[in-house]
Chains A and B, each alone.
Chain A
Amino acid sequence: MTVLSTKERRDLIALRGRALSIIVVVAVGIASFIAMRGNWDALETARDRFYEQSRFGDVFASAQRAPRSVVKHLEAIDGVASVDARVSQGVTLPIGDGEPIAGVAIGVRGDQPGTLNVMRVVRGHAPEIGRSDQVVLLEAFAHARDIHLGDEIAVVVLGRMKRLRVVGIGVSAEYLFTMPPGEMMPDVARFAVLWLDETALSVAADMEGSVNRFSARVQPGTSAERVAKEFDRVLHDYGGLGTVTRSRQQSNFILESELVGLRNMSFAMPMIFLAVAALLLNLIMKRIVREHRGQIATLAAVGYSSSEIAWSYGRIALLVGAAGAIGGVALGWALGIGLTDIYRDFFALPGLVFKLRPGAAIGALVASCLAALIGAVGALRSILALAPAEAMRPPAPQKYGHGAFASFSLLSPMLRMTLRELARKPLRTLGTVTAVASAVALLVMARWFDDAMTLMIDTQFRSALRDDVTVNLHEAVPVNQLRMFEHLPGVIRAEGLRVAPIRIRRGNVSRDIAIFGHDADGRLRRVLGKYGDVADVPPDGVLLTSELARILNLSVGERVEVDFREGDFRTRHLTITGFVDETFGLSAHADFKTLTGWLEQEPRVSTVLLRLEERTPSPELLTRLREIPAVAGVSSGRHAVEQMEAQSGEMMVVFGVILSLFAASITVGVVYNMAKAALASRARDLASLRVLGFHRTEVAQTLGGEILAIVTMALPVGMLMGRYVMLPAMMLSADPEMYRLPIILSGRTLLFATAVTVAATVMGFLLVNRELKRLDPISALKTRE
């Protein structure tokens, strides 16, 4: 070990407070990377393994009813490796005395070779062949509904109530996420997936000898899109309801968009922290090199080359980076495991285990060291440029011009001193303001989700979803049946909505969406923009989600091709009359009469909206609803919100707290470093002040001015940065086809960001103040250089 490294070590020890604060910032950035990246890896690995094990399909289709022989035609399609055809049936679960829940029953017939989308039984066993009373339930749903192995559940199939025994709990690649019909957010508790013996289900669903649900795997190198088109062609005659490729399969689509978001965040977040760490290192290293001018010159004079010296200082920076990386990997590991626990509830993926890949850890180390070097490079360059002889003389006194603030003679001397200090080093000021501002922006980000959700829920329930209970029907019923609903207990108004599946296309681009038919006199459901503005549904033509218009590159007045997957199954050319900035999903809206005119002779409704005397449905009403065969599922908006808040709310709270702590670490680090630098550069002056008889608090005030000014500037800048840079960037990483949350800032968020920043500032300052207490006037006066 050379003496030079001893010196490095001691220099680092002397810097411990400041070094530690940077290490923390690096560690936090790296921890966020490791935690998110590791989970991304874990999710991907678990997904790939599970998809492979369960032979997840490449293409998914459904039709109204097709003879089993259609499989031969599907298998004959060029590029198809294997085809799986099954029976499935929409069902209703009148669980307990709550709202009836919509679900789907899928036929299983043992482990036949060539079966795709294999359901995996995690507890219990599959339904025995020929047994019509056994059912396997999707694990996430069973868990959410507290249903256990051996329980008996009631299931309504085609209006007939059946009692089934839960013999197994299963998972499926097709249902990692489930979404209740007609809704735009996943909710495992309100959509049931059941697996029954195929023969038994065929009988119950009146589907003997027929199939209605198809999936295929394609041969390697084959375009799944092309095969999907062929599927559509073959199934068209059997009431084809559309074919999607894996990328548009609902569960996979949601999973993918979560993964993309996670991956983007795992890069973006650490960038912010590493950039701040680099900036702090830059400030520190510059200061050290300035303070160490004499030492550096001495080293050069006794025969060390300038590159040896520069490298010696570079190692200090590297050590800080490396220490941060190591701490970050450890912290990230712990956080990652915690995050995996949360994700395990959220993604129903079996085998989800957090894994720290060596590559990720090495990448983190390299990135941290690189950031450290980038931060130090300015200081190191000045070491290389330092002529040894020139360094033997003390640095020229700092130039203080009267500068821009000369005219502010009205300002107090203290304030003028502060402003001059800031103006003298504009780059440094800019850097520190940016660093604190980015922390403020992170705080804004931490709170935004809550704001967006609150606003959204608020506007949705005030102006859009004004029904107390939404009743989804298995099949559309004639409008006159609405009267029956109106007479149910507690109901003061019943309105119908016609929802139908369509494929909307332009050129080669298409999307499978739902079209909503709104009654012109309807009051309970309205089409809303992002900010709660009500859009009028035109009597002719269709209104589209603006995101959809972007995808299909459509503008108002143009015509678009629409394949109807219900009613007459015809393709129509419809005129676009307008766009609406909806928050969730992609949809089309039309006038009720117009839509039903396209679909059928006699107008029918597929969803019934109820307004109640009391806002919450009475048990009596729910009982009556459960008895109506046409009812597939019932949901009350309030319930949906509670569910959503319980599910993602908890996760967002955890994220918010962690993110806030992370952001605070930046502010504490920056403030501590600035105060420390000010203390070091003015130690003599400050000590002199003390010697001259000033109180410590008065001395502390002279340190505080600069920090106060920086933080005051950083607050508004950070809020703007959060609003106009970070949130839009974050929205970019979210899939716009899933949701487009409004970018808003609430007063509460601004208050929160301010409060946390001020608290962190005070904390950073108190850390230095502690050292100020220990500042020994004599020793400070003795220090030279």
Chain B
Amino acid sequence: MAPPSPAVAASEPVLYRLANVTKTYRMGDVDVHALRGVDLELDARELVVLLGASGSGKSTLLNILGGLDQPTTGSVQFRGEELSTLSDRRLTEFRRFHVGFIFQFYNLIPSLTAHENVELVTDIARTPMTADEALEVVGLSDRRSHFPAQLSGGEQQRVAIARAIAKRPELLLCDEPTGALDYKTGVLVLDVLETIARELGTTAIIITHNAPVAAMATRVLTLADGRLVADERNAQPVPAKELDW
């Protein structure tokens, strides 16, 4: 089973179809139910904001969507393809070719420069932009040969975004991308994400603790205690630049 090609993708509006997804962690004698049956359909080109209290299962859900983790039960289909039964190899290919991750703590490789951190992805992707192009997008061309330790938090997060978008992913998964940033920098980062998602036609899922951020989304999902408790569509998303919190 080869990963679906983008050509097929355009004709299929439904990107993800999740049915009764649960995730249980076994900690010694106790079962921790991180997800307790999530049903969900996501369309292509949506900008989703995922809200919820700490421990409600947001990261768990995002990891499952991104092929970093497998559900305990239930089905996760990406363009009709069942992810939950994929082999480790296939899952790696899924991540390699389709998903861009952005993490709360940037997760740059400290021993690589900004440019090289992006190259990490362009080395293995199928139709990537160049690392320089990607850095250009996030406005960091002049910092290309700096190491993460020589960059501020916001700059590091922008490098992480450049790394995530360089492969032209169909999916951008962002786990609290602004969690460690101040307001101004946060807005800057969200603006970059929004612009890229729009220009590349990428579906983006953003986890945040900042409820006001939801205003920029076309769809807002809320998790509580491992269950999807709210699913709102937003016809008039506010540009990230105009967000206020």
**Hey, which bits of chain A sit against chain B, CB under 8 A?**
2-4, 6-7, 10-11, 14, 294-295, 297-306, 387-389, 392, 782, 784
> What 9 A-B pairs have minimum CB-CB distances, sorted nearest first?
A303-B96, A389-B69, A10-B111, A298-B107, A389-B63, A389-B68, A305-B92, A3-B119, A303-B95
Report A-chain residues with C-beta under 8 Å of the C-beta of B121: 302-303
Count residues of B near A (Cβ-Cβ below 8 Å).
36
Which residue of B68, B89, B164 is within 8 Å of A392 (Cβ)?
A: B68
Q: Are A298 and B69 in contact, with the CB atoms below 8 A?
A: no
Provide a sorted-by-A list of 25 A–B residue pairs whose CB atoms are within 8 angstroms: A3-B116, A3-B119, A4-B120, A6-B112, A6-B116, A7-B120, A10-B112, A11-B111, A294-B105, A294-B107, A295-B107, A298-B108, A300-B92, A300-B95, A301-B95, A301-B103, A302-B95, A302-B163, A303-B121, A303-B167, A304-B92, A306-B92, A389-B60, A392-B107, A782-B149
Q: Which of B182-201 contact A (CB under 8 A)?
A: none
CA distance A2 to B167 in the complex (A): 16
Report A-chain residues with C-beta under 8 Å of the C-beta of B59: 392
B78 on the interface (CB 8 Å rule)? Answer: no
Which residue of A3, A299, A305, A389 is within 8 Å of B89 (Cβ)?
A: A305
Q: Are B101 and A302 in contact, with the CB atoms below 8 A?
A: yes
B109 on the interface (CB 8 Å rule)? Answer: yes
Q: Kindly provide the distance from the CB of B231 to the nearest chain A CB, expressed in whole angstroms.
A: 24
Q: Are B120 and A392 in contact, with the CB atoms below 8 A?
A: no
Report B-chain residues with C-beta under 8 Å of the C-beta of A14: 111
Q: Are B68 and A388 in contact, with the CB atoms below 8 A?
A: yes
B52 on the interface (CB 8 Å rule)? Answer: no
Q: Which of B55-102 contact A (CB under 8 A)?
A: 59-60, 63, 66, 68-69, 88-89, 92-93, 95-97, 99-101
CB-nearest residue of chain B relative to A3?
Answer: B119
Q: Are B103 and A3 in contact, with the CB atoms below 8 A?
A: no
CB-nearest residue of chain A relative to B23?
Answer: A389
Which residue of A2, A301, A305, A782 is within 8 Å of B101 (Cβ)?
A: A301
CA distance A388 to B67 in the complex (A): 9
CB-nearest residue of chain A relative to B175?
Answer: A392
Report B-chain residues with C-beta under 8 Å of the C-beta of A4: 120, 123
Given contacts A299-B120, A387-B69, contact A7 B111 (CB under 8 A): yes
**Hey, which bits of chain B sit against chain A, CB under 8 A?**
59-60, 63, 66, 68-69, 88-89, 92-93, 95-97, 99-101, 103, 105, 107-112, 116-117, 119-121, 123-125, 149, 163-164, 167
Report B-chain residues with C-beta under 8 Å of the C-beta of A784: 105
CA distance A96 to B163 in the complex (A): 90
Which residue of B69, B97, B163, B164 is within 8 Å of A388 (Cβ)?
A: B69
Report A-chain residues with C-beta under 8 Å of the C-beta of B95: 300-303
CB-nearest residue of chain A relative to B120?
Answer: A3
CB-nearest residue of chain A relative to B163?
Answer: A302
Q: Kindly provide the distance from the CB of B109 to the nearest chain A CB, expressed in whole angstroms.
A: 5
Q: Are B109 and A298 in contact, with the CB atoms below 8 A?
A: yes
* Given pairs A295-B109, A301-B95, A303-B121, 4 additional interface contacts (CB within 8 A): A3-B119, A389-B69, A392-B59, A782-B149
CA distance A297 to B105 in the complex (A): 13
Interface residue SS majority, chain A: helix
CA distance A10 to B112 in the complex (A): 8
Report A-chain residues with C-beta under 8 Å of the C-beta of B108: 298
Q: Are A301 and B111 in contact, with the CB atoms below 8 A?
A: no
CB-nearest residue of chain A relative to B166?
Answer: A302
The number of inter-chain residue pairs (CB within 8 angstroms) is 81
CA distance A387 to B64 in the complex (A): 12
Report B-chain residues with C-beta under 8 Å of the C-beta of A389: 60, 63, 68-69
Given contacts A11-B111, A303-B97, A392-B103, contact A2 B69 (CB under 8 A): no
Q: Kindly provide the distance from the CB of A12 to the nearest chain B CB, expressed in whole angstroms.
A: 10
Which residue of B89, B109, B125 is within 8 Å of A7 (Cβ)?
A: B109
CA distance A245 to B93 in the complex (A): 70
CA distance A306 to B69 in the complex (A): 14
Which residue of A2, A10, A305, A392 is within 8 Å of B123 (Cβ)?
A: A2
CA distance A387 to B95 in the complex (A): 14
CB-nearest residue of chain A relative to B64?
Answer: A389
Which residue of A6, A301, A782 is within 8 Å of B66 (Cβ)?
A: A301
CA distance A2 to B92 in the complex (A): 19
CB-nearest residue of chain B relative to A779?
Answer: B149
CB-nearest residue of chain B relative to A297?
Answer: B107
CA distance A6 to B100 in the complex (A): 22
Q: Kindly provide the distance from the CB of B222 to the nearest chain A CB, expressed in whole angstroms.
A: 22
CA distance A579 to B111 in the complex (A): 70
Q: Kindly provide the distance from the CB of A440 to the nearest chain B CB, expressed in whole angstroms.
A: 37
Q: Kindly provide the distance from the CB of A784 to the nearest chain B CB, expressed in whole angstroms.
A: 8
CA distance A734 to B99 in the complex (A): 66
CA distance A784 to B153 in the complex (A): 13
Q: Kindly provide the distance from the CB of A7 to the nearest chain B CB, expressed in whole angstroms.
A: 6
Report B-chain residues with C-beta under 8 Å of the C-beta of A388: 68-69
Interface-central residue, A3, A11, A304, A392, by most chain B CB under 10 Å: A3
Q: Are A300 and B68 in contact, with the CB atoms below 8 A?
A: yes
CB-nearest residue of chain B relative to A292?
Answer: B109
Given contacts A6-B116, A14-B111, contact A306 B123 (CB under 8 A): no
CA distance A6 to B112 in the complex (A): 8
Q: Kindly provide the distance from the CB of A306 to the nearest chain B CB, expressed in whole angstroms.
A: 7
Report A-chain residues with C-beta under 8 Å of the C-beta of B66: 301
Interface-central residue, B60, B111, B125, by most chain A CB under 10 Å: B111
Q: Are A304 and B124 in contact, with the CB atoms below 8 A?
A: yes
CB-nearest residue of chain A relative to B125?
Answer: A303
Report A-chain residues with C-beta under 8 Å of the C-beta of B93: 303
Report A-chain residues with C-beta under 8 Å of the C-beta of B105: 294, 784
Report A-chain residues with C-beta under 8 Å of the C-beta of B149: 782
CA distance A302 to B93 in the complex (A): 10
Q: Are B112 and A7 in contact, with the CB atoms below 8 A?
A: yes
CB-nearest residue of chain B relative to A294?
Answer: B107
Q: Kindly provide the distance from the CB of B5 to the nearest chain A CB, expressed in whole angstroms.
A: 17
Report B-chain residues with C-beta under 8 Å of the C-beta of A295: 107, 109-110
CA distance A294 to B59 in the complex (A): 16
Report A-chain residues with C-beta under 8 Å of the C-beta of B92: 300, 303-306
Report A-chain residues with C-beta under 8 Å of the C-beta of B124: 303-304
CA distance A50 to B55 in the complex (A): 82
Q: Kindly provide the distance from the CB of B86 to the nearest chain A CB, expressed in whole angstroms.
A: 13
Report B-chain residues with C-beta under 8 Å of the C-beta of A306: 88, 92
Report B-chain residues with C-beta under 8 Å of the C-beta of A294: 105, 107
Interface-central residue, A297, A302, A387, by most chain B CB under 10 Å: A302
Which residue of A2, A3, A299, A392 is within 8 Å of B63 (Cβ)?
A: A392
CB-nearest residue of chain A relative to B124?
Answer: A303
Q: Kindly provide the distance from the CB of A738 to the nearest chain B CB, expressed in whole angstroms.
A: 57
CA distance A295 to B167 in the complex (A): 19
CB-nearest residue of chain A relative to B116?
Answer: A3
Q: Are A301 and B116 in contact, with the CB atoms below 8 A?
A: no
Q: Are B112 and A3 in contact, with the CB atoms below 8 A?
A: yes
CB-nearest residue of chain A relative to B117?
Answer: A3
CA distance A211 to B124 in the complex (A): 85
CA distance A759 to B116 in the complex (A): 44
CA distance A480 to B101 in the complex (A): 107
CB-nearest residue of chain A relative to B118?
Answer: A3
CB-nearest residue of chain B relative to A388?
Answer: B68
Q: Are B68 and A301 in contact, with the CB atoms below 8 A?
A: yes
CA distance A6 to B110 in the complex (A): 12
CA distance A387 to B91 in the complex (A): 12
CA distance A302 to B120 in the complex (A): 8
Report B-chain residues with C-beta under 8 Å of the C-beta of A7: 109, 111-112, 116, 120
Report A-chain residues with C-beta under 8 Å of the C-beta of B167: 303
Q: Kindly provide the distance from the CB of B32 to the nearest chain A CB, expressed in whole angstroms.
A: 13
Q: Kindly provide the distance from the CB of A295 to the nearest chain B CB, expressed in whole angstroms.
A: 5
Report A-chain residues with C-beta under 8 Å of the C-beta of B103: 298, 301, 392
Report A-chain residues with C-beta under 8 Å of the C-beta of B120: 3-4, 7, 299, 302
Report B-chain residues with C-beta under 8 Å of the C-beta of A10: 111-112
Q: Kindly provide the distance from the CB of A49 to the nearest chain B CB, expressed in whole angstroms.
A: 55
Report A-chain residues with C-beta under 8 Å of the C-beta of B99: 303
CB-nearest residue of chain A relative to B149?
Answer: A782
CB-nearest residue of chain A relative to B95?
Answer: A303
Q: Kindly provide the distance from the CB of A3 to the nearest chain B CB, expressed in whole angstroms.
A: 4
